[in-house]
Amino acid sequence: MTDVAKLAPFFLGAYGENHQHFEQAWLEFFRDHVYWRRNFHPQDVPPVSAVEQYQPQYLASIARTKEALHQLSAELKQSVPISNPRYVGHMCSELLMPSVLAQMITTLYNPNNVALEVAPVTVKQELQVGIQLATMFGFATDPSQAVCGWGHLTSGGTIANYESLWLFRAVKYYPLAVYLAAQQEDKLDFCWQGQAVTQYSPWQLFNLSIDQVIAFNDQLIATLKDYQQTEQKYLLAIVAAHRIESLGPVDFYQALPGLKQPVVLVPITAHYSWQKAMKILGMGSKQLRYVQVDEHMRLDPADLRAQLAALAASQTPILATVGVLGTTEYGTVDPIDQLVAARQEQSELNYYIHVDAAWGGYVSALFRNADGSLRSQTEVASEFDQFPSDNVYKGFAALGDVDSITVDPHKLGYIPYGCGAIITRNRRVVEFISQEAPYVFDDTGVQPPLDERLMNLGQFIMEGSKPGAMAAAAYVSHQVLPLHSEEFGRLPAKTVQLAERFHQLVREFAKRVQNKVTIVLPMDTDTNLTCVAFNPVGNRDMAELNRYTRQLFEHVKVKPERLATSREFIASYTSIQRKNLTDKVANKLCTQLGIDPTTYTESLFVFRHTLMNPWLGEESGKCDYLAKYLEFLAELIEQS
C-alpha cells in the first residue's frame, strides 16, 4: 500500500468511501447508548409512555423536527466542500473519522469538563490529551519529577494565547505581591537565597524564571508552617490582597513606583489574537512590541536581540517573547532555538517564552520516535526533498525548552471545531491562577495532591462550561493514531511532501507561462502552506499586480451568491503588508516580481494554499489534483 492508502481507513473520504464503516460504527454505539439509558434502574417506568408517542400532537412535533432537519440539510449543501481535494483554501480539510465518531457518541452523554462531577470520564481524557501533546513537544511528563508538563483543551488557539499571558502575568507578579505584603507584615519578609525579600528590588523580583517563582513560593509556604494555621491563613490573605489580580493594575503600579509596565515581544507575522489579548487582559496594545522578520517571513533574531538589549538598558520589564511555529498567513516557522538562546544570553533579564503553534504544532509528530525521543535531522530529512531546513529542525527540537505552547487539534490535528489547547512545561504554574489560592490547605493543614486538584479543571482555566465531547474526539484520535512519526506523523509528512511537490510544479509552471505572467513563490515552505504571487509581464506597478491577481482569484473564490460546489477549485488569499517588511526584503520581492519598489506602499495580494488533504497528489490511477489545479490556472491566465 502507498503511504496515502494507509491513511484511507481513518477518513470518511471525499466521496464518502468509508460511509458503511462510519454508519455501522455510529449505529452500533448509538444503540449501545440507548441500552445504557435503559439499564440505569430498568425497573423504573419510562417517563414517556407508548400511548403518548402516538398522540397527534406528539407526531406533529416529530414531523416539525424532521422538517427543520430537512431544511438544515438543504442549506448545508451550500457549504464549502473542504473534504474534497479540489479545496486548497483555508486551514480546514477532511476530518479524522475516529474523532468525528467519538465527538458524536460523547455528545449524547453531554459531559461538561469544567465539573468533574458530571464528566468523570472526559476530564481524565482531556488531561491525558494534554500529556500526549506535551510529550510530542518534548516536555517532561513524569509527575514524580519536579518539572512536569501539563495542558488542557480550549475552544481554540486564540483562547490558548490569552491564557498563556494570563498564566505568565500571575507567575511574574507573585513575588512582587509578597514584596508588598512583607512591607506591611514582617513575618512575610522571609529569607530567599540568602537575603530577605524586602532587600531585593522590584526589578530583581520581576526577573525570576517560572521555576524560581515556584521555588520562591515553596520557601514562603515552608516558612509559614512555623505558625498556627489561623496565622498562616491571615498572612496569606495579606499576600492575596496585594496581588495585581486583587489590587488592579493602577493601584499595583502605584505601590511599585519604580516598576514600568512590562512588554510582550511578538514577530510582525503573529496572529491578531495577541493584540486582542493585550487589550482583554488590560495590559494595553501599546505594550505589544513587534520584532522584524527576514526574507523568509521568520522572526529576525538580530532584531530580537537588539530590542532585548534596549529594554534591558532602560530596565523595561519583559513579560514574554512569542515565536510562531507555522504562521497562519505563510506557514513559516520562527527560529525557536534562537528565542531560547537569546534568553540564555541575558544576564539580568528573565522573561517567559511562548510558542504559538496553533498551525504547525502537530507537525511535531514528524520529529518524534514512538518513545517520545527526538529523531535526528538526517532521519527526518530522508522522507523529503528539502524539508526540514536547519531552521525548521532546530525550531522543533527547541520546543522542550520553552515555557508554554498553543496548538490547535482542529487544524492539523484533523479534529472537528472547536478544539484548541495550551500546554505548559511546568504544570505548577496553574497554582498561581487557581480560584483556590496555591497555599490553601485542608482542615488538617495538608494541601491535596496536585494531580487531584488538577481534576477540577474549572479552577485553572479561563473558560467556563466546556464540552467533554471535544476531549473525547482528541483522545480517541490520539489513541488510534499516536503522536509520533510512525503513526500520526505519516499524515503531516504526506502533506509536507505535497507542499514540496507543489513548489516544484509551480516553478515549472512559471517557466511555461513566463511570456505572459511572472510567478513567484515569495517564501520557502516550512510546513504545508504555500503562497504564490502573479504579475503580468511588463507591469511595474503594484496596484496593477493586485488588480490582476484579484481578477484571477475571482475564479477560485467562494461567493455567497454562488454555490461553492460550482467551482473547479477553491483557494484562499492573503496580503503581504509593506509595513511589515524591511526595505531589503521588500526590494528583493519587488525585483523578483519586476515591480517598481516605489509603488509597493501598502500590500501585495497573493494566492494562499493550505495543502492539508493527503489525496491532493499524484498516486497510481488517481487524479493529480495539484497538476490539474495549475492547468486550471493556466487557462485563466490565457483568458486574462
Domain 490-639, CATH 3.40.720 — does that match?
no
Domain range 131-170+261-480, CATH class: alpha beta
pLDDT at 620 over 70: no
Q: Residue 65: CB partners within 8 Å, gap ≥ 6?
A: none
Residue 418, preceding bond cis, omega within 30 degrees? yes
Which DSSP symbol is given to 155?
Answer: S
Q: What is the mean pLDDT of residues 77-85?
A: 92
Q: Kindly report the number of other CB atoms within 10 A of residue 76's CB atom.
A: 8
Q: What is the mean pLDDT of residues 361-389?
A: 96
Partners of 153 in the β-ladder: 421
Q: Which three cell numbers stand for residue 399?
A: 520546543
Q: Is 329 exposed, middle or buried (0-12, 13-18, 19+ CB in 10 A)?
A: buried
Buried/exposed 576-613: b ≥16 CB within 10 Å, e otherwise: bebebbeeebbeebbeebebebeebeeebbbbbbbbbb
Q: Residue 441: its pLDDT value, please? A: 39
Position 559 confidence tier, pLDDT thresholds 50, 70, 90: confident
Where in the chain are the domains? 131-170+261-480, 490-639
Which amino acid is located at 110 in the chain? N
Classify strands 352-357 and 318-324 as parallel, antiparallel or unpaired.
parallel
The answer to whether 29 touches 105, Cβ cutoff 8 Å, is yes
3 state DSSP class of 342: helix
3 state DSSP class of 56: helix
Which amino acid is located at 486 in the chain? E
pLDDT digits (tens, 9 = 90+) for 427-469: 999 999 875 544 443 455 566 788 888 888 888 899 888 999 9
Give the 3-state secondary structure of 249-267: HHHHHHHCCCCCCCEEEEE
Whole-angstrom distance, CA of residue 340 vs CA of residue 107: 41
Backbone Cα Rg of the chain: 27
Determine if residue 13 is left, alpha or beta; phi over 0 gives left, psi from -120 to 50 gives alpha, anything else beta.
left
Give the 3-state secondary structure of 202-241: HHHHHCCCHHHHHHHHHHHHHHHCCCCHHHHHHHHHHHHH
Residue 317, preceding bond cis, omega within 30 degrees? no
pLDDT at 104 over 50: yes
Q: What is the mean pLDDT of residues 46-51?
A: 94
Q: Which three cell numbers stand for residue 640?
A: 486574462
Q: Residue 617: its pLDDT value, please? A: 85
Determine if residue 110 is left, alpha or beta; phi over 0 gives left, psi from -120 to 50 gives alpha, anything else beta.
left
Whole-angstrom distance, CA of residue 177 vs CA of residue 255: 10
Domains 131-170+261-480 and 490-639 share a fold: no
CA distances from 212 to 350, 420, 457 (A): 10, 29, 25
Q: Residue 300: its pLDDT value, please? A: 96
pLDDT digits (tens, 9 = 90+) for 256-308: 998 999 999 999 999 999 999 999 999 999 999 999 999 899 999 999 999 99
pLDDT digits (tens, 9 = 90+) for 465-521: 899 999 999 999 999 999 999 999 999 999 999 999 999 999 999 999 999 999 999
Q: Residue 437: its pLDDT value, please? A: 47
Which amino acid is located at 632 in the chain? F
Q: Kindly report the number of other CB atoms within 10 A of residue 248's CB atom.
A: 10
Q: Residue 447: its pLDDT value, please? A: 67
Whole-angstrom distance, CA of residue 50 vs CA of residue 63: 17
